[in-house]
Chains A and B, each alone.
Chain A
Amino acid sequence: MAVIKTEGLTYVYGEGTPFRKVAVDHIDLEIEEGEFVGIIGHTGSGKSTLIQHFNGLLKPTEGSVYIDGEKLWDDKAKLRPIRFKVGLVFQYPEYQLFEETVYKDIAFGPKNMGLDDDEIDRRIKETARMVGLKPEMLEKSPFDLSGGQKRRVAIAGVMAMNPKVLILDEPASGLDPKGRERILSMLKDYHKQTGNTVLLVSHSMEDIAKNAQKILVMNKAKLFCYDETVKVFHRSEELRQMGLSVPQITRVFDRLKAMGIGLDDDVYTVKYAAELVLSMLKRREG
């Protein structure tokens, strides 16, 4: 069963004013449980508006959203449990830290869920380990940490609620390459270990290529496509026209193909590119 489903989802900002703007336009979508989905789209394409519907922060102007089979907004009292199912990490989440210690900050979400102290403790320790925070850091003030560490604390706070769906809006933006890599490999491990669905919004095609199984492409408030990573990056020309791109390595192999080099497959990661070239060289020798 789809963990997230939308039917004709439409959202209009400033309805009835001269600033009326359709931000998402009749979106029909089904995301299966356990998937790692990359979300891409140009600035203003409707990505952020779309994901805010998934945990009921925005109410559709038209159409509906189902989480885990349950329709949102049918019964307002049901929104709270649904928000625990879908964890949303905003851009620059480190600005939302507020507690005295890292421990208390991560505990905030699980506490609101009404979990008992032992369970909260267990979850904090587990997520801290998952995001690579050493046990001694838990007693520090979150404001004494580096930017990358703060960001990991903020993400841990949402992970500790063990949401069925974890959505992150540009979790690596502004970080250096090592910090980026760290956040992304942490998300990959989280996905593997928990089996939870992960939705990652990013402007970095390279990061999406390395992690996502499927990609959701938004273009001018509409869903352009939702498909497997390799199939989406196959449409490089269309992506380019909508202000997006494909990974650098994909561009290189697209060009080699156009120059007449026979390649069986599309390339979108460096690792795969290396394997492909090596096997071609081997075949030639053999």
Chain B
Amino acid sequence: MAIRVQAEDFDVGTEYAAFTAGRTSIGGVAMFVGLVRDIAGGAAVSAMTLEHYPGMTERQLEAIEEEARRRWPLDDVLVIHRYGRLEPGDRIVMVATASAHRDAAFESCRFLMDWLKTKAPFWKLEATPEGERWVEAKESDDAAAARWAQ
């Protein structure tokens, strides 16, 4: 297992190689990579600053991973989430799940992202031509997370 909260960028290929190295029981890996978009709500975004709550962030991500492992038979889970100042095109988050079969990998990857978006204490501040603005939470994110309620 690995949960990493970091300012630095990461290389998806390097992470994938390390994630699967020597693990021949893995039948499939699902990966999601979230990027900074250059437009949001009709406004151009020149930069995004991610703030988080050190300590609680790691704790929440670990709890989300634990829940994913409880629900699906996973060989491994990787979550990397960046904080600090990012620019359009920069990677924000990566989730990878490995399992013997694809259903568990696909479903758990989506679950991890949906839960992360509503539980991990990160906040985005966007820089636009009209000034800085805090990103508002979306009801669609709550709905996406609610689908996984048990």
Q: Do A and B bind each other?
A: no
